Structure 1
Amino acid sequence: MTDFDAIDALLAGAGKEVPLPMAEERRLLREELHLSRAQLAQVLGVSPSTVGGWEAGREPSGETRVKYAYFLEGARAKLTAGTAGQSSAGEPGDEAVADAGPVVGPDDDGDVLAVPQPCVLCGQPARHQVEGFPQHLDPAECAAGSLPAAAQPAPEPAAGERDRGGAGEARQAPRGRHGVKVVAAGGRVRPAGAPDPLAGRIISAVTAALGEHSGDADEATQALVKRAIPDAMALLDQARKGGRYDVVAHPWLPDILRKQTAKGADQIWEARPKWTRPELPAGAHEVTALDVNGAYLSALKTHLPLGQLEHSTDGQHNPRRAGVHLITPPDWDHDQALPNPIGQRDEPGPLWVTEPTLRLLLRLSGPKYGLCDPPVIHESWTSGATEGLLEKFRITLKDARDRAITEDDDVTLEYVKAMYSKFVSTLGESNYNRELYRTDWMHLIRSQAFANLWWRAHRAYDQGLMVVCAMGTDELHVIGDWRAVFPEGRGLAEMKPKDVYTVGSAGHGTPEEA
């Protein structure tokens, strides 16, 4: 073969990539057909998060791209044919009312629905929506985390209907020894006592790793920690099944959430505490260093934005949204006894903070505490938010952690710890997690962990302990009977001592090295 023949063969084999619609149209085509990302991902042989990335602007390649283009073209043709059929069917009747969108009146803010729609958290009918997601605005009305709709008792029939019962009417199953007890399982139910399939994934992974390494706990642990990130993403995908909204895995992010240099940081201030009480009373003091258990695991329960962040400059905080905010923080006059809620910062002036930090400042400036002035909000990047987005994922990891502690299972304990800690740390610009790229979530979860530590410090102070030091997400040093304030143990709501030392002496108040 001559050089020219090789070039001809190269040109013959080369081809222009199959064109795809714009990212927003890809999502709309799927949603118009009422198909979930999981359904599409299954037939294409990828993960739901990968489909989410394509719908946010990432580009597939190779044979997968051809298959995806084929689906999109078929979806467009199907929808076009359906639209044509509807236009020739005359005026819409009562059936169209069921798909009515939000009703916007002169006195409302545009979030009241004409017809109740399933809440994205619990599935029960909700009359409001936040950024396009139906939700209960009052947490007391939301059944998320309690008995799902499928397990709710049926309403009592009206008096005139009790003795009627046509062949097509559904009847409540009689209560008796043949009934099946069920328990809540996210958006579904499962028989009571049946194994949780999510927990089963963790158990199976640990069992397989121990088998592969002939029961060597150290080697099995190392292998599990190495695969913690993909395993956590697979667990999250399973935990999202049955969810009524999709996670936007790769949204467009503003420049403030992007690294300024290759090895630098972005512009978000996480309010990481690094505080030590400047002075203690004269004399010797016994200090206990307390350790917070599973700080990042607890912080997964925080207000996270569902979709792409949107810019606003009205200077107002909307509790139904979450994101990052440019604020001028208030002065803090309590540094002698409590850490500053925004952490130790030397530079004055405005800074970008996260939702947990802003909510902490707003709460402390309110009438209940009155510890500072309200922060001044200059601009915000936010989206409609929910506090329960990662709740099923969090509860699965928490339950696995609790079982591992009870059973003295260090292999599972280290595996679970690696799953949630690496999940948080790789949500940003990371080469280790390509499935979910949410730098905003990473900052919010971290800041929630710092805010949780601040509230523990305040609780200690409020209950008469002397707070000596607060560091990071999990370290709190106090003087006094801490067991009267915090339960001792390894659970998420408990604290455990990791060191006891003495500061000062009977003769003078000079601090000594710990």
Structure 2
Amino acid sequence: MPDFDAIDSLLAAVGPEAGLPAPGVRRELREQARLSKAQVARALGVSPSTVAGWEGTREPSGEIRTRYAYLLDGLAAKLAVESESESEPGSEPEPDPVQEPEEAPAAAAVSPDPEEDGSGEGDDVESLAVPEPCVLCGRPAGSRVAGFAQHLDPADCRAVTRTASQAVPQAVAAPAPEAAEALARQEATPRTARPSGRSQGPARRAFQEPSGPADLIGEAVRAALSEHQGDVEAATAALLKRAIPDAMRLLDETRKGARYDIVAHPWIPDILRKQTSRGADQIWEARPKWTRHELPPGRHEVTALDVNGAYLSALKTHLPLGQLEHSAGLAHDRRRAGVHLITPPVWEHEAVLPNPIGQRDEPGPLWVTEPTLRLLLRLSGPKYGLCAPPEIHESYTSGATENLLEKFRVALKDARDAAIAAGDEVTLEYVKAMYSKFVSTMGESNYNRELYRPDWMHIIRSQAFANLWMKALKAHDEGLTVVRAMGTDELHVIGDWRRVFAEGRGVTEVKVKDAYAAAAGTGEGE
């Protein structure tokens, strides 16, 4: 008798695939449930970048499609239940958020959010009488943030996707009727204007994990140690391998409820693209590589100082939010950030301090990042007067904020500090890998496809170089002899450096890397 089992299995696989809503609705369901791409990816056994693809242009297939459809169906059902439970049966429905009165002033300034603003530049929000193109998506926006038109609600930046997918929630595999009806009501209801002030409490998070950003790091370390039966080396190796997706998950967690939305995969100008497959782009990062030509007379004890957490500190820098826009012949706007083609000023202090643009052999214009330009402008100002202002020829910039990654930075810093205090080398190495690999893979890298911002990578790296340069200037101004400045974290000085810099392992402190004797005319240290 023939074996029909294989045929039955084949016929079962030929059946229709599970239905899925449009990509925009998939993302909307996840975000309404306050779930990160990393959380969804873990549940389905895929990578966060795969989830990002499903919310973009790619489609899952086979068993994974069935499981993804089941998850979306569950999200739709839970969100519908929560929506219905917000009002008691028979009671009056909650009124819609109060809209701005028609007689209100056209532009009402709002105090900046203390959690988001630490720069003192005032990220004010004002309502616009006439909508202007959003700096992120280009569609009309009714508010201006830090001087630039922007949607206050990130969902508004996806208005095209929402409109195209209004009738798609019913396509979820076997959706609950009440869930589809709730989603349809949500899409059909006009979005009311967001009040100009900040919300009085955090947004409701549907079945969200109770852990915060710091707990994500601790949970990952505990899980790795448990999986490897307490083997520190094996657990550390496993954590270093997953540092990139874990950093993106942490970033996703710290961005919840943030004022600013970001463009993760914008159009990039050619100057930010590699010229060859293994070559570099046209951006000059101003990396210090300087050694003093001549020491003062006599024999000296030189201390090589190691600056802690250089890239971690550099996460606090002005980053462009949206797609870079070209401009030419305009003065620098401190509310924007990006890359700039400049002719750098002549530097006349090479004998005692490194050139702020690094050691560059070729004269003439070059493309520099925001931190380098700001450093040059600062040094040319009345406080220092060390050089002439740079000449700006053209720029690619977008509206920016210094605090875009601040909560991400603080979460990593707090975890690092706690690990040092507890002597926890596993967590310390894990955290170091998270922020260093986060910076190095956000450009043209196959290791991180969730974020493609080579401009951010160059800006953060240049900020680390600029921070080291300012430490060299501080040492010089305090009477120390600066002997060498290298990379992001190496500063050699002669003199009582402890009266200038705090010693320790914290990110605002330095530690001794080496000490050696040197004398005038000997060249190298002895």
| TM-score w.r.t. length of structure 1 | 0.70
Cα pair 1:453 1:474 within 8 Å, conserved? yes
User: Contact between 2:108 and 2:127, CA under 8 Å: does it hold in 1?
Assistant: no
Name the counterpart of 1:59: 57
Match of 1:98 among 97, 100, 122: 100
Give the 3 Å change call, closer, same or farther, for CA 336–256 of structure 1 in structure 2.
Answer: same
Once the two structures are TM-superposed, the CA of residue 215 in structure 1 deviates from its matched residue by 1.2
Residue 331 of structure 1 corresponds to 346
CA distance in 2, matches of 1:287, 1:352: 35
Match 1:340 to one of 355, 364, 370: 355
Q: Does 1:501 align with 2:516?
A: yes
C-alpha distance in structure 2 between counterparts of 1:294 and 1:304, whole Å = 19
**Are 2:335 and 1:320 equivalent residues in the alignment?**
yes
Are residues 1:271 and 2:286 paired?
yes
| CA shift for structure 1 position 248 | 1.4
> Is residue 52–residue 247 contact of structure 1 (8 Å, CA) maintained in 2?
no
Letter in structure 1 aligned against 2:235: A
SS in 2 for 1:205: helix
Match of 1:113 in 2: 107
Partner of 2:443: 428
- Give matches, 1:89-488, under 5 Å: 98=100, 113=107, 122=116, 126-127=125-126, 131=135, 134-135=144-145, 197-488=212-503
- Is contact 2:343–2:364 with CA below 8 Å preserved after alignment? yes
Contact 1:277 1:336 in 2 (8 A): yes
SS at match of 1:221: helix
What letter corresponds to residue 278 of structure 1 in structure 2? Answer: H
Q: Which one-letter code corresponds to 1:98 in the other structure?
A: E
Which is further off, 119-128 or 301-310?
Answer: 119-128
For the 8 Å contact 2:305–2:490, the answer to whether it is kept is yes
Q: Is the 8 A contact 2:302 2:492 kept in 1?
A: yes
* SS across alignment from 1:113: coil
Offset at residue 59 of structure 1 (A): 2.4
- Code of the residue aligned with 1:439 in structure 2: it is P
- Displacement of 1:199 after TM fit? 1.2
Q: What secondary structure sits across from 2:382 in the alignment?
A: coil
SS at match of 2:107: strand
CA contact (8 A) 1:117 1:127 kept: no
Once residues 473 and 233 of structure 1 are traced to their aligned partners in structure 2, the CA distance between those partners, rounded to angstroms, is 23
| Residue number in structure 2 paired with 1:511 | 523
Deviations along 1:382-419, whole A, 9 cap, x unmatched? 11101111111110100000011001111110000000
Once residues 330 and 395 of structure 1 are traced to their aligned partners in structure 2, the CA distance between those partners, rounded to angstroms, is 35
Cα deviation code 1:244-280 (max 9, x no counterpart): 3322111111111111100000110000000011111
Structure 2 Cα separation of the partners of residues 363 and 28 of structure 1: 47
Cα deviation, 1:276-301, whole Å, max 9, x if unaligned, reads: 11111222111000000000000000
**Matched AA of 1:458:** L
Q: Which runs of 5+ in 1 are unaligned?
A: 1-8, 72-94, 104-111, 138-185, 190-194
1: distance between equivalents of 2:303 and 2:214?
Answer: 35
C-alpha change, 1:188 and 1:340, in structure 2 (3 Å) is: farther
Q: CA deviation at 1:43?
A: 8.7
Cα pair 2:265 2:453 within 8 Å, conserved:
yes
| Cα distance between partner residues in 2 of 1:329 and 1:211 | 54
> How far does the alpha carbon of each residue in 1:79-100 deviate from its partner, in whole angstroms, 9 at most, with x for none?
xxxxxxxxxxxxxxxx996399
CA–CA distance in structure 2, aligned partners of residues 204 and 34 of structure 1: 22
TM-aligned CA distance change 1:478 to 1:62, over 3 Å: same
Q: Kindly tell me: are residues 29 and 413 of structure 1, through their superposed partners in 2, closer, same or farther at Cα, counting changes over 3 Å? A: closer
CA distance 1:299–1:312, change in 2 (3 Å): same
Partner of 1:78: none
How many residues get paired?
407
Change (3 A) 1:357 1:331: same
Provide closer, same or farther for how the CA distance between residues 275 and 27 of structure 1 changes in structure 2, counting only shifts above 3 A. Answer: farther
Give distance in 2, aligned partners of 1:97 and 1:432: 45
Are the aligned partners of 1:363 and 1:369 in contact in 2 as well (CA < 8 Å)?
yes
For 1:47 and 1:242, locate their aligned partners in 2 and report how far apart those are by CA, in whole Å. 24
- Per-residue CA deviations over 1:9-31 (Å, capped at 9, x if unaligned) read 9xxx9x9xx9x99xxxx879989
TM-score under structure 2 length normalisation: 0.68
Supply the distance in 2 between the matched residues of 1:316 and 1:98 (Cα, whole angstroms): 36
CA, structure 1 residues 40+220, in 2 after alignment: closer, same or farther (shift >3 Å)? closer
Q: Is the 8 A contact 2:36 2:253 kept in 1?
A: no
1:147-193 Cα offsets, whole Å, 9 max, x none, are xxxxxxxxxxxxxxxxxxxxxxxxxxxxxxxxxxxxxxx9789xxxx
When residues 29 and 368 of structure 1 are mapped into structure 2, their CA distance, relative to the original with a 3 A threshold, is farther
Judged with a 3 Å threshold, the aligned counterparts in structure 2 of structure 1 residues 65 and 447 are, in CA distance, closer, same or farther, namely: farther
CA distance in 1, matches of 2:109, 2:524: 67
Gap runs ≥5 in structure 2? 1-9, 73-96, 118-122, 129-133, 136-140, 148-200, 205-209
Distance 1:40 1:196 in 2: 13
3-state SS of paired residue (1:62): coil
Contact 1:287–1:477 at 8 Å: present in 2 too? yes
Distance 1:61 1:341 in 2: 49
Which residue pairs with 1:91 in the alignment?
Answer: none
Correspondences of 1:62-73 after superposition (within 5 Å)? 62-63=60-61
The structural deviation recorded for 1:65 is 9.8
| Counterpart position of 2:190 | none
CA 1:37/1:421 → structure 2, altered by over 3 Å: closer, same or farther?
farther
CA contact (8 A) 1:37 1:52 kept: no
**1:423 to partner: Cα distance:** 0.3
C-alpha RMSD of the superposition: 4.0
- Contact 1:120–1:244 (CA under 8 A) maintained in structure 2: no
Q: C-alpha distance in 2, partners of 1:239/1:337?
A: 42
Letter in 2 for 1:113: A
